[in-house]
Amino acid sequence: MSAGEESTLSAYRRREQSTTIAPLEEQPRAHTEAAGDGTRRELLTLNFGPHHPATHGVLRLLVTLEGEVVRDIKPIIGYVHTGIEKTAEDKSYWKVIPVVERMDYLAYYFNAMAFCSAVETLAEVEVPRRAQYLRVIHLELNRIASHLIWLGTSALDLGAVSIFLYCLRERERILDLFEMSSGQRMHTRYFQVGGVIEDIPPGFARKLRDFLKDMPKRADEYGAILNANEIVLQRLRGTGPLDADTLLALGVTGPLLRAAGNPWDLRKAEPYSSYEDFQFKIPVGTVGDNYDRFACRMAEMYESVKIIEQALDGLPGGPHITEDRKFALPPRHELATSMEALIHHFKLVTEGFRVPPGEVYYPIESPRGELGCYVRSDGSSKPARVHMRDPSFVNLQALSHMAQGGYIADMIATVAMLDPILGGIDR
């Protein structure tokens, strides 16, 4: 592009095109004084991402380095911003579910759960016990699937390539189960306002039990491979530590906070969807370094298996979705015989249901921390505002605090253990 053409661009566009990022140097930043003997002071600003295999998405980091030591990190985000919150305002409530599922694309059941629960709270819809248990089964399966992807990609960053293939093998079995219950492998739209769309099919329980029998053994194997790997241990132990108080001030929740010794888990603290019925432990770490984060998530997979086993054993009978025809579609067979069912079906499919005016913030525990859904209703059949408090978005603020003063190679491990999902960060 010639100089004449360039001048028609705004200053921001020109800066984005340039190979230097000098104007960003003017921004205030912490800890940028170079240390040393006064003869060899030099700070290097390195652009890292947005397209880089170790950023787990399109995360761009401006890293200020002194030699190999990280002095500051500035995350630059927004590359996959798709305006999901805006889109949601333009759709009736039940059509918002598939949209919000695409935010955190590894934990789609959680997004749907937060949104559906917020709408259920607004509309005061009772969720049947069987639906609550089915939700727990799918949520915890999704938690395992999400942690498996985290484990596989993180191990890849740390140089253990084979783990990735093993983790995807186990995840495939979970996706097969999702396909069995909902017909979709990802973004299943299984959760509905008032319950779940369909009951689990025959054969699901047996296949799930097979998986539950194998999963702890597989997790043992992965743990054995990684915990006996000196390189992995050296890259994780003692790197990127951050204490619980700083994490809380930064709003960090989930496994990152638990790794620092704070046993905060919404499934225990504020049980939702019948979590109070299940016996499980909350794994916590001690020093809050990368190894603790790794160990916490590994241990969580075993706990999720325990929860699913209990939910499957105690699965109550009854309907899988609310009987309230104002919110749930009538069963197919009623359409041929009942005029009322036909009217309800027509109203739900064309206009959707109306929700009483009000505002609700509904938090749940996603694999990455507190996932809160704020829904404001103005009384119409479309939400007036949908906001997701995505844990990845908030947790990302802790990255520079974790990685400052460490080596750049440790920053890679820290990003991996942070487990950011850019779809959730940018929404």
Partner 1 sequence: MPDATELELIAQELRAAEGSAQASSGSPVLETVFFRGRATLVVESERIGAVLVRLRERGYGFLASLHGVDYYPHEPRLGVIYELLDMHKVDRITVKLRLASATPEVDSVTPQWPTADHQEREVHDMFGVSFRGHPNPRRILMPEDYEGHPLRRDFPVGGEPVLFTYNEGETRGSAP
Residues that bind partner 1 (CB under 8 A): 5, 7-13, 27-28, 77-78, 81, 83, 85-86, 89-90, 121-122, 124, 248-252, 264, 269-270, 358-361, 363, 370, 372, 374, 376, 384-385, 387, 389, 393-394, 396-397, 426-427
- Pick between residue 225 and residue 248 the one whose CB is nearest to partner 1: 248
State the nearest-atom distance from the C-beta of 52 to partner 1, in Å: 20
Question: 33: which DSSP letter?
Answer: P
Which phi and psi (to 5°) does residue 370 adopt? -75, 115
What's the start-to-end Cα distance of the chain, in Å? 32
Q: Which is nearer to partner 1, 179 or 359 (CB)?
A: 359
Looking at this protein, which amino acid is placed at residue 110?
F
CA distances from 49 to 55, 76, 213, 285, 288 (A): 7, 9, 40, 30, 26
Closest approach of partner 1 to the CB of residue 298, in Å = 25
Question: Given the complex with partner 1, which of 16 and 221 has the nearer CB atom?
Answer: 16
Q: Cα torsion at 426, 297, 363, 272 (round to 10°)?
A: 150
- The three-state secondary structure class of 74 is strand
Give dist(CA 179, CA 181) in Å, integer.
Answer: 6
| CB closer to partner 1, 8 vs 39 | 8
- 3-state SS, one letter per residue, for 188-235: CCCEECCEECCCCCCCHHHHHHHHHHHHHHHHHHHHHHHHCCHHHHHH
Q: Where are the beta strands (DSSP E) in 58-204?
A: 60-66, 69-76, 191-192, 195-196
Q: What's the min distance (Å) between Cβ of 178 and partner 1?
A: 29
Instruction: Identify which of residues 110 and 164 has a Cβ nearer to partner 1 in the complex.
Output: 110
Indicate the residue among 41 and 81 with the shorter CB distance to partner 1.
81
d(CA 341, CA 347): 10
Query: C-beta of 104: minimal distance to partner 1 in Å?
Result: 15
